[in-house]
Structure 1
Amino acid sequence: METTDRLSEIAGGHDRPAFKLLVSCPFGLSPSEVSVVFDQTYDRIPHPDVTLENNISEIWDKRVQKNPSLYNGLKFRYGGHTLSGRADFSQKTDVCLHLGLTDYRTFVGTNLNPLWERFLIPSEDDWRRCQHTSNPLGNGAIVETADQEIVVLQRSNNVGEFPGHFVFPGGHPEPQEVGITSHHSDEELTRQMVNRKVSQEMFDSIIREVVEEIGVPATALSKPVFIGISQRVLNVRPAAFFFIKCSLQSKEIQQLYGSAQDGYESTQLYTMSMSDVAATASKMPGCHQGGFALYKLMVDAMKEK
């Protein structure tokens, strides 16, 4: 884990940085080193202020009136994590993610609410501070091309969050991809089996997002490694970040992007050097700025290894 001084340095030393690193794994973790406890204990707790709670529905209804295509999909809710050291002195730390359920409607009505700060409670513990917010766990990928460039997308102007901003490919792990529609599954699955399926979805989903957003085949991508979780300071939005190598050159990726399944979510794909990404980072949402900070920590750790 990094020190507060080091993280402030990465964030640019501002009084209120754009992001906070909740988990940092600079040596990268494989699926066997990332576990999940999926439980309703980590669901959002309703706010005691009834007026504030009612505001969630009001905001959602107004958004739907403006955009009838909005879909209230289920999402995994980030409810914290635990770390455990390794006995082999490899400098790695296994991570267990604590996940509950939430949905897009509640995300719009809490995290994206103009009054989002009223949903927070004063606490040094991040899970407790954010217990009344939706906090769906997003994901993002630092995709490195065969010619050592990094893939960056510019979001289209019709997306719900940060239209026109630069981002890394990503989206969300999806509960319904692993058959989860509630905490009470009809299937005869043990709690351990459900946890394993959710953990695997963390890694499967980021490959799926990269393939759909930039158009490269999954066979051109390495197995993802988990490098941490970044939280956007603005509306406390969390996102898990992964590092993926692509066997294709930048020009090949540019050609494939034109036929990407979810290409409508972005207007342009760029491949940039690390220094160019650093110069562009200020135009990224805070959680993606944090994703780049996690990547830089990984690069530094590999140099020192």
Structure 2
Amino acid sequence: MEGSSGKAPLVDAAFQLLLACPAGLSRSQVSVDFKNSYDREPHPDKKLEESIEHIWNCRLAVSPSLFNGSKFRYGGFHMIDGEGDLEKPQNLCIHLGLTDYKTFVGTNLSHEWEHFLVPVEEDVTRCRHTASPLGNGAIVETADSQILLLQRSVDVGEFPGHVVFPGGHSESEPIFLGISRRVINVRPTAFFYVRCYLSSEAVFDHYNHAEHAFESTKLSAVSRDDLPHEAKKMPGCHQGGAALYTLMCR
């Protein structure tokens, strides 16, 4: 069970670190156990469960272009050949089930999201009635030591879910840093560190002509020293991503 061994996860007013790997894990050290036992369980309150469909239909009435799609659901993790220390795991297996965007809108993003939580402390069982799709964020550091941020609104930036760099071999292999979860709406996100061998100016120039630039309003960058201040404006799970980066830099 998630959080059942090792040190207690770090909790902040906006986020909870479910797993911290300050030394980072390579691709070969991370595996996935994908099975339907990690899928969401329907809530026993029939009226609350039916509200998922109602919320989705209301969203469709306002935004007819919305469409449902499958997402991987976070179901916990376990260590493999490790010593049970969450800060220095040797190998990690992440548990993933399947959910969809409609259920995410109707549970985690619902105004009644707290009603879907089970009143126990264990992280996985507490969220067994929410969709809780596992997001991803890349903490990208450029050659001039700038951290890239994507903005989807005027004032709020966040770590990008993906960045396409020009040419080959312009970035390092991603290193897994851990998993953070928002306190509000319990949305989990996995974070990775990527070292980009290009300057921030070169990345900006590529972004302005990139195919997927329309998915955000702006690409910006902050220094290491300014990141903690900028992180306070981010969604809770991304504040946790900044905390994971800080742990890595110690």
TM-score by length of 1: 0.76
SS of residue in 2 equivalent to 1:298: helix
Residues 46 and 3 of structure 1: CA distance in aligned 2, closer, same or farther (over 3 Å): closer
Q: Is the 8 A contact 2:81 2:91 kept in 1?
A: yes
- How far apart are the structure 1 equivalents of 2:89 and 2:8? 16
Displacement after TM superposition at 1:2 (Å): 5.6
Listed one character per residue, the Cα deviations across residues 229-262 of structure 1 (whole Å, up to 9, x for unaligned) are 0001110000000000111001111111111222
| Mapped pair 1:221 → 2:171 | yes
- How far apart are the structure 1 equivalents of 2:81 and 2:187? 27
Q: Which segments of structure 1 move beyond 6 Å, counting only runs of 4 or more?
A: none
Task: Report the more deviating stretch, 108-117 or 68-77.
Answer: 68-77
User: What does residue 113 of structure 2 align with?
Assistant: 116
Listed one character per residue, the Cα deviations across residues 73-114 of structure 1 (whole Å, up to 9, x for unaligned) are 100000111123448x99443111110000000000000000
User: What does residue 235 of structure 1 align with?
Assistant: 185
SS of residue in 1 equivalent to 2:51: helix
Displacement after TM superposition at 1:145 (Å): 0.1
- How far apart are the structure 2 equivalents of 1:116 and 1:263? 31
SS of residue in 2 equivalent to 1:297: helix
- How far apart are the structure 1 equivalents of 2:204 and 2:138? 17
| Mapped pair 1:277 → 2:230 | no
Alignment partner for residue 144 of structure 2, among 126, 144, 147? Answer: 147
Aligned residues: 243
Q: Which amino acid aligns with 2:241?
A: G
SS of residue in 1 equivalent to 2:145: coil
Listed one character per residue, the Cα deviations across residues 48-87 of structure 1 (whole Å, up to 9, x for unaligned) are 0000011000000111111111121100000111123448
SS of residue in 1 equivalent to 2:185: helix
Q: Is the 8 A contact 1:25 1:93 kept in 2?
A: no
More helix by proportion, 1 or 2? 1
Alignment partner for residue 168 of structure 1, among 159, 174, 185? Answer: 159
RMSD of aligned C-alpha atoms? 1.9
| Mapped pair 1:23 → 2:14 | no
Aligned residues: percent identity? 53
Q: Is the 8 A contact 1:2 1:24 kept in 2?
A: no
Q: Is the 8 A contact 1:78 1:137 kept in 2?
A: yes
Q: Where do 5+ consecutive residues of structure 1 fail to align?
A: 12-16, 158-163, 171-208, 301-305
- How far apart are the structure 2 equivalents of 1:244 and 1:265? 21
Displacement after TM superposition at 1:32 (Å): 1.3
| Mapped pair 1:46 → 2:37 | no
Q: Is the 8 A contact 1:153 1:169 kept in 2?
A: yes
- How far apart are the structure 2 equivalents of 1:94 and 1:276? 32
Q: Is the 8 A contact 1:156 1:265 kept in 2?
A: no
Residues 38 and 218 of structure 1: CA distance in aligned 2, closer, same or farther (over 3 Å): farther
Listed one character per residue, the Cα deviations across residues 125-184 of structure 1 (whole Å, up to 9, x for unaligned) are 110000000000000000000111100111147xxxxxx5210101xxxxxxxxxxxxxx
Q: Where do 5+ consecutive residues of structure 2 fail to align?
A: 1-5
Q: Is the 8 A contact 2:22 2:88 kept in 1?
A: no
| Mapped pair 1:246 → 2:199 | no
SS of residue in 2 equivalent to 1:220: coil
Alignment partner for residue 138 of structure 1, among 124, 135, 139? Answer: 135
User: What does residue 69 of structure 1 align with?
Assistant: 65
TM-score by length of 2: 0.92
User: What does residue 298 of structure 1 align with?
Assistant: 248
